[in-house]
Amino acid sequence: MCTTCGCADHSTARLTDLTTGQTFDLHEDAHAHRHHSHDHDHAHDHDHSHDHSHDHSHTHPHDHSHHSHHDNQRTTVLEEAVLAKNDRLAERNRGWFSASRVLALNLVSSPGSGKTTLLERTIRDLQSDLPIHVIEGDQETTHDAERIRRTGCRVVQINTGAGCHLEAEMVARGIERLASPPHSIVMIENVGNLVCPALFDLGEQAKVAILSVTEGEDKPLKYPHMFRAAQVMLLNKIDLLPHLTFDVARCLDYAREVNPQITVFQVSAQTGEGLPRWYDWLRTQLRTLGERPTC
């Protein structure tokens, strides 16, 4: 692990372009940006370079000596937001989406919510009038991305390796690769969990949480951070309701308890029930995006 930037998390993060089959190592790329052309052996030369420069020791001011040390201890006030770097990159993504009039949605769920099936169906149903591109997040496999590719849609896969969520930098690489045209939608299918993705802004216009009726109706209470951060909740697999004891009204109460503003669509990706209202919402979002002045 790189002891300075602590980026071991992404040491196995990769981007795969399903159309061309090319794979890129995100970690190496990220470092090439940050370290510029520095020799990688000097793993500590980050861009805001500490003023040590290997060969100029004679001119080098020993800044240590300028500080007075009481019992050799020095307190430095930092006041630095831990996620500042991700938030900055997310803002950059958001600026790009808005300037390019691309609607970006961050789809979050637990495993087994039927998220990929829902996405496949949405793409197939809207294909003729709405261009949709997909950034598919997964820890290891390209299985879901292959399913999406079979719809004929442009898709890049990001494998996060040990990381349990997508980060803004990965999405930046994805949008670079996709080069989505104006008035299209980029669906970012986040890694399947409802905890970690809540913390990492990707620059999306909205988070869409997908919950299926085969899960517990109290999920919004168990994962309040995510359901609070989401603008939309898709309650999926409602075709199975007759066989289950799932209490829809109670689930919606819980969701509104956590997030009174949340918009809920009850849908079935199997039968197509309820999907037209979800599609209308997508169209409205795209339209209002176009009405906003670009900045």
Partner 1 sequence: MHELSITRNIVAIVNEHAKGERVTEVTLEIGLLSAVLPDSIRFCFDIVAKGTAVEGARLNIIEVAGHGRCRACGQDVELRHPIARCSCGSSDLSRLSGEQLTIKQMVTTPCAQPADAPITPLRG
Question: Contact positions toward partner 1, by CB under 8 A?
Answer: 3-9, 42, 44, 46, 48, 50, 52-54, 57, 60, 62-64, 69, 72-83, 85, 163-165, 195-196, 198-200, 221, 224-225, 228, 256-258, 260-261
Q: Which is nearer to partner 1, 31 or 237 (CB)?
A: 31
Alpha-helix residue ranges (DSSP H) falling in 179-247: 219-222, 224-229
Q: Which is nearer to partner 1, 73 or 128 (CB)?
A: 73
Q: Which is nearer to partner 1, 34 or 124 (CB)?
A: 34
* Closest separation in Å from C-beta 163 to partner 1: 6
* Closest separation in Å from C-beta 73 to partner 1: 5
* Closest separation in Å from C-beta 124 to partner 1: 33
Q: Which is nearer to partner 1, 120 or 217 (CB)?
A: 217
Mapped onto helix, strand or coil, the DSSP state of residue 265 is strand
* Closest separation in Å from C-beta 89 to partner 1: 13
CA dihedral of 256, 260, 262, 266, whole degrees rounded to 10: 30
Q: Which is nearer to partner 1, 120 or 204 (CB)?
A: 204
103 φ, ψ (degrees, to nearest 5): -90, 120
CA distance 234 to 264: 6
Q: Which long-range contacts (CB under 8 A, 24 or more apart) does 178-181 make?
A: 178/133, 178/135, 178/154, 180/100, 180/102, 180/131, 180/133, 180/154, 181/102, 181/131
Q: Which is nearer to partner 1, 102 or 251 (CB)?
A: 251
Q: Do residues 158 and 14 touch, judged by C-beta distance below 8 A?
A: yes
CA distance 134 to 59: 52
* Closest separation in Å from C-beta 8 to partner 1: 7
* Closest separation in Å from C-beta 170 to partner 1: 12
